[in-house]
Chains A and B, each alone.
Chain A
Amino acid sequence: MGKPDLFAYDFMINAFIAGGIVAVMAAIVGFFLVMREQTFAGHALSHIGFAGATGSVLLGASPMSGMILITLCGGATIGALGEKVSGRDVAIGMVLSIALGFGILFLHFYTAYATQINTLLFGNILGVSYSMLWTLASLAIISLTLLSIVSRPLIFVSLQPELAEAKGVSSKFMGIIFLTIVAFATSGCIQIVGVLFVFTLMIGPAAAAQQISTRLLSGISLAVLFALSETWGGLALSYLTNWPSSFWIATLSGSVYLISLTTKYFLNHK
C-alpha cells in the first residue's frame, strides 16, 4: 500500500503553488544577480532577512513583515554604497555576520520562538498557509513588475557601465532599485527554502542557465525552467522519501549546475 496521491492534501497543493511562484521570481531576479556578479549581495540579504524576521517576532509582528522591511533597507544600503566601494565583499561580509549575530540575539530574548528557528533557516514549504500564498504572490508581482520596468536600463548598465553612464543611465540608481527587487525575492525564497538555502533557488538555476545559453531571453527562460523543476521535483522527492524538501531542492540545484558545467564543456569542445 503506497502513499496517497501527491495532491491528495491541501498543504501539498499549497506547497506546489508557493514553490512555483517563488521559483519563477527567484530564477528571473537571480539571473540578473548572476549577470551583475552580485551573488554575494543576494546571499547577504538573506542573512539580513534572518535578523529582521527574528527581530520583528520579538516586537510582536510577523516574521515576514520584518524580513521584507529589513532586506529592503539592506538592499538599498548596499546599492547606495555602489560598486566602486573597494573591498565591498568584505564590507558585505561584515554586515552579514553582524546581522546573523543580531538574529541570534533576538532569538535568545524570545526563547519560545526557538522551535521555529528551523523554519527560518531551512524553510517550511509544507507549512504554507492560504494567506501566505497571497503574500508570496504579491511579492512576486511587485518584484517582477519593478524588474520589467527597469530591465532594459538595468541590463545596459550591468553590461556596459561606462557607456550607460555616458547615455545618462545612473548605475547607482539602478543598483539601488535592483537590490530592493532582490530584497522582495529574497523574502519570498526564505519562506520556501530558508535563509541558508536562498542560494540554491536564486543563484543555482540562473548560474546553470548562463553556462548553457548565450542568449538573454532564452537564458532567463531556462533559469525559470530549472528553478521550477528543481522546486517541484524536490517537493515530490521529499514526499516520497519523507526527507526535508530543502535537502532535495539543494541537491537538485547543485546537480543541475554540475550538469550545466559539463554541458558547456562539451559544447566548447565538440
Chain B
Amino acid sequence: MDVISFNDVNITLSKRPILSRLSFDIKENRFIGLLGPNGSGKTTLFKTILGLVTPDTGTVSIFGLPAKKGNPIIGYIPQFRTTAYNLRLCGWDYIASAVNGHKFGLPLINAITHQEIAHFINLVQATNLAHRPLSSLSGGERQRLLLAQALIGKPSLLLLDEPLTNLDPGNQQSMISLIREIQQELGITVLLSAHELNPLLPVMDEVLYLGHGQAVLGQVNEVINSAILSKLYGSKIEVVQVNNQIFVMSENINIEHNAHQHGEA
C-alpha cells in the first residue's frame, strides 16, 4: 500500500495557487528527501499530509485513508518551533508533554508510556541529555530530543521539516545517519525537507523536488538533471557532478548554497 498518495491535488492559500496538479505515490519503507527553493511549498506539503491544509481539488491519502488532523500514524517535527528554549524544564518532561497531549486530563504518564519514552530517547542516543534543562542544550541536542518525541506512539510515517538547519556539517551528517538508521530499523517512511541535496545523497531512496507549484518524484538521477530542474525552476539550470557531489547551478551560481544562506537569514 502507498504511504502517501497525491492524486491531482491543487492547493491555494489566500487565493494564491501554491501547488498545482500534484500526483505522486510514496511507497513503504522509504527515505525521501523533499527539496525545493524557499517558498516552493515544502511546509505546505507537510501540512497537507497532516490534514492542516485542505486541497481545493484532488485527493490526498495516507495509508489509503484521507488525510486528517491529528493522525496518530504520523510523527512530525515542525520547521518553526517557537518553543520557550529559555525554560529550565528538562528534556524528558518536554518530550513527555506531547504524549496524549491532545487529550484532556492531568499530564500523568503510566509505566508503559514511561518505558516507551525512555526507549526512544535511548534510540536517538539522548539518554544523558534528557535530564538536563532545555536551556542548556545545543541545537543539535534538542533536535535529537525532538526526533525521539516524533517517534513516540510508533508512527509509520515521519515528517521532518528542515531538521538540519542550524546544524554544522558534522552534526548534519550524524543527524542524517541517525534518522536513516532509525528509519530502517523501524521499517518506516521518512519525508525530510532540506535545502541542501548533498548531505542527503548517501541515504535518500528517492527525491521529491518542488518548484513552480509542481512536484517530481523519482531516483536522484531521474530528478536532479538539467531537463527536470529547468522545468521546476522555470529557468536554465545546469547540474554538475564532481566527486559524488552534485551542484545545481543557475548561470554559474550555486542555487542550493544561496537558498541555504537565505534560509538561515
Contacts and interface: CB of A to CB of B under 8 A. Distances in A.
A269 interface: no
B98 interface: yes
A121 B57 CA distance: 59
Contacts of A153: 101-104
B133 interface: yes
Question: What class of interface size applies to chain A in its complex with B?
Answer: 20 to 34
A155 B107 CA distance: 8
Given A167-B70, A168-B70, A210-B88, A152 B106 contact: yes
A167 B82 contact: no
Contact of B89 (A151, A162, A214, A268): A214
A211 B78 contact: no
Interface residues of B, number: 34
A64 B149 CA distance: 45
A216 interface: yes
Nearest to A152: B107
Given A160-B83, A162-B80, A166-B78, A264 B88 contact: yes
Given A163-B98, A166-B50, A214-B131, A152 B105 contact: yes
Interface string B68-112: 011000001110111110011110011001101111111100000
Interface string A154-175: 0111111111111111000000
Nearest to B103: A152
A155 B101 contact: yes
A148 interface: yes
B52 A166 contact: yes
Contact of B88 (A158, A162, A168, A211): A211
A35 B93 contact: no
Contact of B94 (A149, A159, A167, A211): A159
Residue among A159, A165, A264, A268 with most chain B CB within 10 A: A159
Nearest to B101: A156
B78 A163 contact: yes
A215 B133 CA distance: 9
A150 interface: yes
Nearest to B68: A168
A5 interface: no
Contact of B82 (A151, A162, A166): A162
A268 B131 CA distance: 13
B108 to A, nearest CB: 8
A168 B149 CA distance: 17
A157 B98 CA distance: 9
Nearest to A218: B93
Task: Give 10 nearest A-B pairs by CB, closest first.
Answer: A156-B101, A168-B70, A162-B78, A214-B90, A152-B107, A216-B93, A168-B69, A167-B102, A214-B133, A155-B97
14 contacts: A148-B106, A151-B106, A158-B84, A159-B87, A159-B94, A162-B82, A163-B76, A164-B101, A166-B47, A167-B69, A210-B89, A213-B88, A214-B131, A214-B132
Interface of B: 47, 50, 52, 69-70, 76-78, 80-84, 87-90, 93-94, 97-98, 100-107, 131-133, 136, 149
Given A164-B101, A166-B76, A210-B89, 9 more contacts: A35-B84, A148-B105, A152-B101, A159-B87, A159-B97, A163-B101, A164-B102, A165-B52, A214-B132
